[in-house]
Structure 1
């Protein structure tokens, strides 16, 4: 069971009004994204649509990219549950190499399905992160189970995570993102090829 290895704990307690505002803002942001597209989802527009003050929106998200970071996090829960307790090979029960392949394939699909959110979550004013902390921890766990001789599994996990997460979208031409199924399959196949070339000896 992986649950103790992944940093998905109970979030800090919120005041009741803050919790209501968070739920309202995320629901409103999801609605706007579906109806109007990512370009129309701004701090001002979200404040107006939700009926909350601009200060409330700013305190909750900080930046426009913060809105999309929160949306991306909100969409991850079902994916995380599949990793934690879903059927193998994505969930527990399969050999680590199979799980590593399955994780990358599923993550590529998730990223492309949510490419508008993931791409908009990248903040040009901040350093580009190597990827989600959750992915790093999970990949590092699987690498440790592979018992790689003399490998720096911490840095390897960072590098492999960077191949799966939001920054990857910076390298895909916008035209490619119009063909989600094709690009998701290509990314998943490339990930599987990479993992087997590195670790299947």
Structure 2
């Protein structure tokens, strides 16, 4: 007989709506950041964004950003840690905006709509966001040790857990949320849209069908 899986932490079992978190820190989050350090950070992010716009996310290396911003490479490493940290900082504004939309924005993505409607809206919004910034999201994908522990991913997963507990209270919301997040993974979106040529509309329809099958509800077509 196989051993039973350990329970999820009690602190997560009765959690409410997750609090707003970001991918990385920003200058306004660090009131003690020296003025020159804040300027360096802004210059580095501006240089990185320009590299993405002109050459794609693959061109964003620590060395290239340092050269474009006219600072030493060590400055880039001290500020962002590594390339993934730099790319995640670039995604920070988008992440903040998206989190605000599903945590406190208008329904059906935000509060006020039934949980199944919010699940449908969440996935559609995630898919559209991923296709809009796919190269950057792929480049910022963390390694296996950090991928599921990243603060932003924990917020997205926690939000799905909350909605699933409301829509299907008898299900294992923690594990089911991971399954649903797999459908929205940027790597899969890249494969389906760019390698397989599927239109975004088909992915959106597939998400809605998946939610409806999981919750047992069917939206009027």
Q: Give TM-score, length-normalised by structure 1.
A: 0.82
User: Does the residue aligned with 1:5 lie in a helix, a strand or coil?
Assistant: coil
CA distance in 1, matches of 2:199, 2:130: 11
1:45 match: 64
- Confirm or deny that 1:121 pairs with 2:133: no
Shift of 1:30: 1.3
Is 1:187 aligned with 2:206?
A: no
Matched, 1:159 2:179: yes
Q: Check 1:60–1:172 CA distance in 2 against 1; reply closer, same or farther (3 A cut).
A: farther
Instruction: Structure 1 unaligned segments of length 5 or more: list them.
Output: none
1:109-154 Cα shifts (integer Å, max 9, x gaps): 001111010111125x5447358222101101111222421x2111
Structure 2 Cα separation of the partners of residues 79 and 9 of structure 1: 11
What displacement does 1:58 show?
1.4
Identify if the C-alpha distance between structure 1 residues 147 and 194 changes in structure 2 by more than 3 Å, giving closer, same or farther. closer
1:92 corresponding residue in structure 2? 111
Gaps of at least 5 residues in structure 2 are 1-15
What pairs up with 1:139-178 in 2 under 5 angstroms?
139-149=160-170, 151-169=171-189, 171-172=191-192, 174-176=194-196
Matched, 1:64 2:96: no
| Partner secondary structure for residue 48 of structure 2 | helix
TM-score (norm 2): 0.76
**Equivalent residue of 2:147, what SS?**
coil
Find out whether 1:36 has 2:55 as its counterpart. Answer: yes
Alignment partners' CA distance in 1, 2:47 and 2:140: 17
2:104 and 2:191 map into 1 onto residues whose CA distance is 32
Report the CA distance shift for 1:127/1:147 in structure 2 as closer, same or farther (over 3 A). same
CA contact (8 A) 1:129 1:167 kept: no
- The answer as to 2:33 corresponding to 1:15 is yes
Q: 1:19 to 1:88 in 2, by over 3 A?
A: same
Of the two, which has the highest radius of gyration?
2
How many residues are matched? 192
8 Å Cα contact 1:32-1:40 kept in structure 2: yes
Match of 1:6 in 2: 18
Compared with structure 1, are the counterparts of its residues 194 and 9 closer, same or farther at alpha carbon in structure 2 (3 Å cutoff)?
A: closer
Q: Is the 8 A contact 2:124 2:204 kept in 1?
A: yes
Runs of 4 or more, structure 1, over 6 Å off, are none
